[in-house]
């Protein structure tokens, strides 16, 4: 097995045999010619399989360490991947969700699957006892985010996954924030790993995509059947863009993490900041877990200014290099107020985030420029 950086460039991406192209082609085709009825090269219709998508799936499975029995199902978006997992559930089933999760994830389980007779319980998954209390005989899925979105809590996978699986539930870990470069949940016993490939894997804010990776051959077969049945597939150009982006994931993540450590230290030492959420800070409640479980601490930070809600609005609107925008994981730095943007759907629920919270996706620009821009923006928020 090759090293991570090598797999990102080579796994599933052999030179194209006809021309010798070093880059996987964009197979912009819907159908494939068969030599006889039912006899083909493995491709018949691109909803079922497409060579560009196959290359992407092979590469992502390698990065997550899915092994010979496992694989990947690439989807049209991160939420399409979430919905595909939802098809594994039946009315009467129960799901455990984290009490700090992406708003779209909660919306899907609460307002879509909830209407189909699938119940959920919200629990603090940084507390094993809280998970044990939330589990029921009918629990079929435990959903984990680590680090969580947007409060950057870190779930101890080695402690939580065995408890979650003890009653027969499947465990899915949303690994979007950490990426397989920082954490590989399958190594801790997770059944599935989910990604919004829109984020760090794509890395350039120019594609929408998702993926599910599993080391279980039977589960992989079921997910592939469901995807073909419901059609939640990415187009070949989208698959190509994620393949291109993932080649540089390791070097980008090193820079994201470096810049985030510097930004977090700046914020933690600034009197205009009341609270900073970043696993790399020794003051973070799960800092030791993150140090043990992750290669580095990631590129996401959240914080609360001392001036409250009005200060959060002013600060987030006053930056030059930090674009005020949703999403994350691109080379450019982004700033947002989750309660008014990415997490509006959880307002009024047990997942509601502080109204004055600011979330940062730290990009790969020069760190001095990023800190200077935040410094002047915080001044405008006073």
Q: The domain spanning residue 41 has which CATH number?
A: 3.40.640.10
* 47 catalytically annotated: yes
Where would I find the beta strands (DSSP E) of the chain?
A: 71-75, 94-98, 119-123, 139-145, 170-174, 192-195, 210-214, 273-277, 300-305, 323-324, 334-336, 358-361
Token pair of 102, please? 């992406």
Residues 285 and 196 in one domain: no
Q: Among residues 102, 181, 240, 297, which one is catalytic? A: 102
* 252 catalytically annotated: no
Residues 62 and 144 in one domain: yes
Element (H, E) at 78: helix 78-86
Identify the CA nearest to 58 among candidates 16, 11, 24, 26.
Answer: 11
Which DSSP state fits 45? B
* Residue 294 · residue 279 · CB < 8 Å: yes
Q: Among residues 32, 43, 47, 124, which one is catalytic? A: 47
Residues 265 and 233 in one domain: no
> Buried b / exposed e across 207-246, counting CB within 10 Å, b at 16+?
bbbbbbbbbbeebbebbbebbeeeebbbbbebbbbbbbbb
**pLDDT tens digits, one per residue of 226-279:** 999 999 999 999 999 999 999 999 999 999 999 999 999 999 999 999 999 999
* Residue 11 · residue 62 · CB < 8 Å: yes
Residues 265 and 368 in one domain: yes
Residues 49 and 182 in one domain: yes
Q: What percent of the chain has pLDDT over 90?
A: 94
Count of domains forming the chain: 2
User: The CATH number of the domain where 322 resides is what?
Assistant: 3.90.1150.10
The answer, as to whether pTM is greater than 0.95, is yes
**pLDDT tens digits, one per residue of 35-60:** 999 899 899 999 999 999 999 999 99
pLDDT band at 380 (very low <50, low <70, confident <90, very high): confident
Q: Among residues 107, 140, 153, 199, which one is catalytic? A: 199
Averaged pLDDT, 172-185: 98
Domain edge (last residue) among 246, 276, 299:
246
Residues 241 and 275 in one domain: no
Residues 219 and 356 in one domain: no
Domain carrying residue 89? 4-246
- Mean pLDDT score of the chain: 96
Q: Among residues 7, 156, 174, 216, which one is catalytic? A: 174
Residues 48 and 129 in one domain: yes
* 102 catalytically annotated: yes
Residues 87 and 154 in one domain: yes
């Amino acid at each position: 097995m090759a090293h991570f950086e090598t797999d990102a460039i080579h796994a599933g991406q052999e030179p194209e045999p006809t021309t010798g192209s070093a880059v996987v082609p964009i197979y912009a085709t819907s159908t494939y010619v068969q030599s006889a009825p039912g006899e083909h090269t493995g491709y018949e219709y691109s909803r079922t399989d497409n060579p560009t998508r196959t290359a992407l799936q092979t590469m992502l499975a390698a990065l997550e360490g899915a092994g010979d029995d496992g694989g990947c199902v690439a989807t049209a978006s991160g939420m399409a991947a979430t919905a595909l997992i939802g098809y594994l559930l039946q009315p009467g089933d129960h799901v455990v969700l984290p009490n700090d999760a992406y708003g779209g994830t909660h919306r899907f389980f609460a307002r879509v699957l909830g209407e189909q007779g699938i119940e959920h319980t919200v629990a603090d998954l940084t507390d094993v006892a809280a998970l044990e209390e939330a589990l029921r005989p009918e629990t079929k899925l435990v959903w984990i985010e680590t680090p969580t979105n947007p409060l950057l809590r870190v779930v101890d996978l080695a402690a939580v996954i065995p408890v979650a699986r003890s009653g027969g539930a499947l465990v899915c870990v949303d690994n979007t924030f950490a990426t397989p470069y920082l954490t590989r949940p399958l190594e801790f016993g997770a059944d599935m790993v989910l990604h919004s490939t829109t984020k760090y894997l794509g890395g350039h804010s120019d594609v929408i995509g998702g993926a599910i990776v599993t080391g279980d051959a039977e589960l992989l077969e079921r997910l592939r059947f469901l995807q073909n049945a419901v059609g939640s597939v990415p187009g070949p150009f989208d698959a190509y863009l994620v393949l291109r982006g993932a080649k540089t994931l390791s070097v980008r993540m090193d820079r994201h993490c470096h810049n985030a450590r510097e930004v977090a230290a700046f914020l933690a030492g600034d009197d205009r900041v009341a609270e900073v959420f970043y696993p790399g800070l020794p003051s973070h409640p799960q800092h030791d877990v993150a140090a043990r479980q992750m290669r580095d601490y990631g590129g996401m930070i959240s914080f609360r200014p001392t001036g409250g809600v009005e200060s959060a609005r002013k600060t987030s609107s006053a930056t030059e290099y930090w674009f005020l925008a949703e999403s994350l994981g691109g080379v450019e730095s982004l700033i947002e107020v989750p309660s008014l943007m990415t997490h509006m759907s959880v307002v009024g629920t047990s997942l509601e985030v502080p109204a004055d919270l600011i979330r940062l996706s730290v990009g790969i620009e020069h760190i001095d420029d990023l800190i200077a821009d935040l410094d002047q923006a915080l001044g405008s928020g006073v």
